[in-house]
Structure 1
Amino acid sequence: LDIVFLVLAVSYLQHGIIPEIDKMLLFIPLLAIFGVAAPGLPGGTLFASLGLIQAVIGIDEAGIAIMVTLFALLDSFGTAHNITSDGALTLILSRYQNKMKDIKSSVNKNINKNQ
């Protein structure tokens, strides 16, 4: 999704207009396919879809250079957010799991005590 907004911003910056809706409706599903097939390295989706961006949207080499630069600057913040949210979710789920284990063990103790 960040690549879509980056394409819109660079297109507006270069041409003063955003791409037509029919181009965007073609571009977004193709970008999703490229995103699945992209290598798992930083900026892999962007670099894999550069030809698509040029062919469908019509952004030239200068626009591509702007996109690569902006994406490189912004990608680290997205990565930091992803890592932090993954860690927070892991902590939340592990606490929930520990509470469930405690509840289960206390229920089992009460059942064994009553038998």
Structure 2
Amino acid sequence: MNADPNCIFCKIVAGQIPAKKVHEDDHILAFHDIQPWSPVHILVIPKTHIVSMAEVGDEHAELLGRMMAVTPRLMRELGVTNGFRHVINTGRDGMQEVMHLHLHVMGGPRPWNKG
């Protein structure tokens, strides 16, 4: 798998940095966000290093589908029963903070209303 030795998410995938994992398979990893915006806030990342959605091509369609498809089950398992939100920030202007593609999945009361 392609990895960036300076990327914090690649280090999490490699087991060099701990994370509170909720799902892992051969292609993706999901874990709790350390700065949550909602009662349940997980990140779903590809194990291979893709910088952002701007780097995604047709060859990534199955991977992106897998990232989206796993989230309903994960949110149910985490107790989210009244809906959830998906957010992917892309690039600096899109407010992406970690330059490794990641899907935020937020649930619980008003997950988009931080504070």
Higher relative contact order (CA 8 A, sep 6+): 2
TM-score (norm. length: structure 1): 0.29
Q: Determine which structure has the larger helix proportion and give its number.
A: 1
Larger radius of gyration: 1
Q: Determine which structure has the larger strand proportion and give its number.
A: 2
